[in-house]
Structure 1
Amino acid sequence: MKDRSVFTPSNGTFRINNLNRTDGAEYILETFDSNGRKSEPRTLQLSIQAPVSSVLLDSECLSQGEMKVSCSSEGGDSPQYSWTLDGHTLTDAQLLSGNKETNIITLKQDVSGLLVCSVRNHVSNVSKGEKISTCGFIFINCTLPDGTNISQWVFSANNTLCIDPTTMIVITANSLLVSVLRAVVSLSLLGGIAIYFAWKKKKYKKAETSTRPRIKDHPENSFEMVEL
């Protein structure tokens, strides 16, 4: 320490050069007057901290539509975390679990906006923001025809519960109309095929009858008239 430290009595400054982690400790200053009497000592607790260099945000959707967000920092000793959403401090009402002063939080299903994580210690303060959106879940609350009450979060794309009855009627009516149209087209096609073959059969019989030879009423004629 002697080779790296300097004390200046005129202004009471104590300087340590080439500081390292092992220099963190309790330092005591003792002063004496001209008669050698010691005055009240002064104590200083020196803490060595590395600054935070960068912050990384990572988010993932959970099974019920919640969003888990973690905030990690590179370097930095004794980091402290804080969160904001759209410029305002994150509230307990927006959190499903976790403390807004920890590096991992879980947001409720309807929370979205610009989420910012700030990491600080005594020598630095670094922030990182990320635009987040909901995980595609919606909250349904209805009573089924059998009296069952449903109140829960469901993934909107796969939702088959609490469907509007009018929508179901429209869907059923459309399905019935399509089925009727298909039946009419099929019957019309079958009927047309039957008529076509009946017409072909009748024409064939007529052609067969007309090929038989006809003998004229006057036998004196020496030829026969054949109509083809």
Structure 2
Amino acid sequence: MEAVLGLLVISAGVSHGLETSCDAREDGSQCYGALGGTVYLQLVTDATRYGELSFYKGSTGNKTEILRMKKDKWVIKYTPIKDRVHFINHGTFRLNNTRRNDSGEYLIETFNSVGLASGTRGLQLFIEAPVSSPQLSSECLSHGEMRVSCSSEGDGPQYSWTLDGQTLRDTETSPGEETNTITLKKGLSGDLTCTIRNYISSDTVSRRILPCPGTGFNVFVYFQLAEVIILLTICLGSYCFYKKKTCPQEKDDGE
């Protein structure tokens, strides 16, 4: 059995054009593909070393043969995906325009030149949607704290936060810095960055934040606004009362 660790390599691209590669030459490899993209699965180093090779979807008890190679010739056995697959260099299986139902367990069986089984390996394939460009939103809370949310679409997103390039510590945020929402302590300011990633892609968004005013400042402002509103109400009422009293007198003088 070839002992090579499964490795995921991600190449740049748009959300529905991502290409991912996975070394599936070790039993139990976990591979990831972008929804709508292309995934390359390296099944063996060189298929010509075997008398026969079969690639199945499903477990040992319930499997559907997808590909068979014998005497250097390969053929797609599962016609529903025939137009989306290709066997490259007799060792790498390419699947285009990936779909949700492409996820699942797969099985590789190899046979020697006289038809005897030489090895069986399994792999797990996960098809996921890449993350979208994240958006930041914030609001001031009591006591000068600030709640910041980072939103994005995609499967299985994971979040990380930095302030001025430094990872936020527990002393600077309330619990939850690995989620899409954090609460910044009073007085913090700087360039806040949210990084969101999954097994397929990653993206970041940054914003310059300023400290929120404290509770005392807010109460003071509210009192000042209340006083202004009361004064305006009194002035407006006095003016209307005065006009109501003087209008009849002005009419009599005119006559």
Q: TM-score range by the shorter chain?
A: 0.5 to 0.7
- The sequence identity of aligned pairs, in percent, is 52
SS at match of 1:54: coil
The runs of 5 or more residues in structure 1 that have no matched partner are: 138-153, 160-228
Cα deviation for residue 49 of structure 1 reads 1.6
Indicate the residue corresponding to 2:117 in structure 1: 38
The runs of 5 or more residues in structure 2 that have no matched partner are: 1-77, 221-255
Matches within 5 A, 1:57-136: 57-73=136-152, 75-95=153-173, 97-136=174-213
Contact 1:65 1:155 in 2 (8 A): no
Alpha-carbon distance in 2 for matches of 1:157, 1:101: 30
* Greater relative contact order structure (CA < 8 Å, 6+ sep): 2
SS at match of 2:132: strand
Indicate the residue corresponding to 1:175 in structure 2: none
Alpha-carbon distance in 2 for matches of 1:27, 1:78: 22
Q: Give me the TM-score of the superposition, normalised by structure 2.
A: 0.51
Cα deviation for residue 119 of structure 1 reads 0.6
Deviations 1:23-51 (A, max 9, x none): 01111110111222112212221111222
Contact 2:111 2:119 in 1 (8 A): no
Alpha-carbon distance in 2 for matches of 1:131, 1:6: 48
1:14 aligns with 2:56: no
Distance 1:54 1:43, change over 3 A: same
Q: More deviation in 33-42 or 51-60? A: 33-42
Q: How many matched pairs?
A: 140
* Amino acid paired to 1:156: F
Contact 1:52 1:125 in 2 (8 A): yes
Q: Give me the TM-score of the superposition, normalised by structure 1.
A: 0.57
Cα deviation for residue 18 of structure 1 reads 2.5
Deviation beyond 3 Å, 4+ runs, structure 1: 156-159
Cα deviation for residue 59 of structure 1 reads 0.4
Distance 1:14 1:157, change over 3 A: closer
Cα deviation for residue 85 of structure 1 reads 0.1
Deviations 1:107-166 (A, max 9, x none): 1112111110011112211101111111112xxxxxxxxxxxxxxxx423646xxxxxxx
Indicate the residue corresponding to 1:172 in structure 2: none
Matches within 5 A, 1:137-216: 137=214, 154-156=215-217, 158=219
